[in-house]
Amino acid sequence: MEDEIIALRKVTKDFRGGSGLTRSKQSLTRAMDKVTIGVKRGEFLGLVGESGSGKTTVGLAMLKLLDVDSGSIMYEGRDINRMSRRETRDFRMKTQMIFQDPYESLNPSLSIFKTVSTSLDVFRKEIDEDEKLRIVSTMLSILGLDPAEDFLFKLPRQLSGGQRQRIAIARAMILDPEFIVADEAVSMLDVSIRADILNRLIDLKNRRDFSMLFITHDIAVARYVSDRIAVMHLGQLVESGEGDSIINSPLHPYTQILINAVPSSEDGNAAKLIPFTQGDWEKVNRGYPGCSFVDRCPFVMDKCRRVRPELVEKSPGHFVACFLYE
Ligand SMILES: Nc1ncnc2c1ncn2[C@@H]1O[C@H](COP(=O)(O)OP(=O)(O)OP(=O)(O)O)[C@@H](O)[C@H]1O
Ligand code: SF4
Ligand SMILES: [Mg+2]
């Protein structure tokens, strides 16, 4: 689609366990199975699914941080795997990733100022120290680290988890990127800090025009920040659509279960999702021809075991891969 900033088309990625002679088909994991997904300009796309469903793999592939086996990945209409060195440098400047764990992703020996300004040193060499200080301070304030002077020359270990994650976001935002992958960026934080950071991300989106793939296992969090939501199950994309449409009218049985697993504020009850098993994975990894959800689906039909359902557009912009909607 023309309005997509990044687009994956039928992208497959296998991981092989072991090495050398111990490499075998047995230990193959198909982390992405013909995934077709795009993020539109200026939108936040929430990518949800249980642990191991392939979300991080999609995010890494979008940022050219992982080699894929087949399919195409286009950024602003250009194949990211055929970029020249100059184009790759430009791509690195325009794209960023925010990781889940700020404890691991920040260099413990660098001051906050140095941490956030490093990419200015690399990509915006013309900026002098005073201007750098001003740009970094403004970004810290926007992210709730105010007054910025109280933080600039501290080390990561002198900050709380929430403050560190704000630094990680500031670092990702400092070059005004066009596209960001946030991978479980608030999952480790307390609810109130989480809400504040999410609100600031939404505010930043309104101030600076950028797109984001927002990866989370929590569909409620995805709904809060995202314009659209995409759902992954065992390496496959099973549903995507506008946030409201996915939450209010989920079509795929898996999405329905994910939504029911969100505790309702009225009764506090949560439907339990049976965790997928090694058996489910092995089926998919060995080229199982049917739907990946057969063993957990309450509506399974004969055909589901024989043929893989393709994504079809059930209503404008709402796609689902399930034979219930043929
Ligand atoms: N480097 C790797 N080597 C081998 N297998 C991998 C590697 N990275 C991911 N996998 C496997 O690929 C599958 C998808 O992993 P991925 O990390 O993308 O899932 P995820 O949805 O991000 O999970 P989580 O919510 O736990 O972060 C998993 O089975 C995982 O074990
Ligand atoms: S295709 Fe069949 S098994 Fe898969 S989700 Fe739909 S009804 Fe269930
Ligand atoms: Mg992950």
Domains and CATH numbers, the chain: 4-325 (3.40.50.300)
Q: How confident is the model at residue 170, as a pLDDT?
A: 95
Low-confidence ranges of the chain (pLDDT < 50): 18-23, 265-272
Q: How confident is the model at residue 189, as a pLDDT?
A: 87
Atom number of ligand 1 nearest to Cα 100: 27
Q: How confident is the model at residue 276, as a pLDDT?
A: 60
Predicted TM-score of the model (pTM): 0.92
Q: How confident is the model at residue 26, as a pLDDT?
A: 59
Identify the nearest ligand to the CA of 257 by its number. Answer: 2
Q: How confident is the model at residue 22, as a pLDDT?
A: 43
Identify the nearest ligand to the CA of 235 by its number. Answer: 1
Beta strand segments in the chain, E: 4-16, 28-40, 44-48, 70-75, 78-79, 95-98, 179-183, 211-215, 228-233, 236-242, 312-315, 318-320
Contact predicate 41/5, CB 8 Å: yes
**3-state secondary structure at position 272:** coil
Q: How confident is the model at residue 298, as a pLDDT?
A: 87
Q: How confident is the model at residue 100, as a pLDDT?
A: 84
Q: How confident is the model at residue 154, as a pLDDT?
A: 96
Identify the nearest ligand to the CA of 275 by its number. Answer: 1
Q: How confident is the model at residue 288, as a pLDDT?
A: 79
Transcribe 174-222 into DSSP letters.
TT--SEEEEESTTTTS-HHHHHHHHHHHHHHHHHS--EEEEE-S-HHHH
Atom number of ligand 2 nearest to Cα 297: 8
Pocket of ligand 1 (CB under 6 A): 15, 29, 31, 49, 51-57, 217
Q: How confident is the model at residue 7, as a pLDDT?
A: 97
Q: How confident is the model at residue 283, as a pLDDT?
A: 66
Cβ < 5 A residues, ion ligand 3: 56
Substitution site in 22, 24, 56 for ligand 1 pocket (most atoms within 8 Å of beta carbon): 56
Q: And the tokens for 274? A: 């049976």
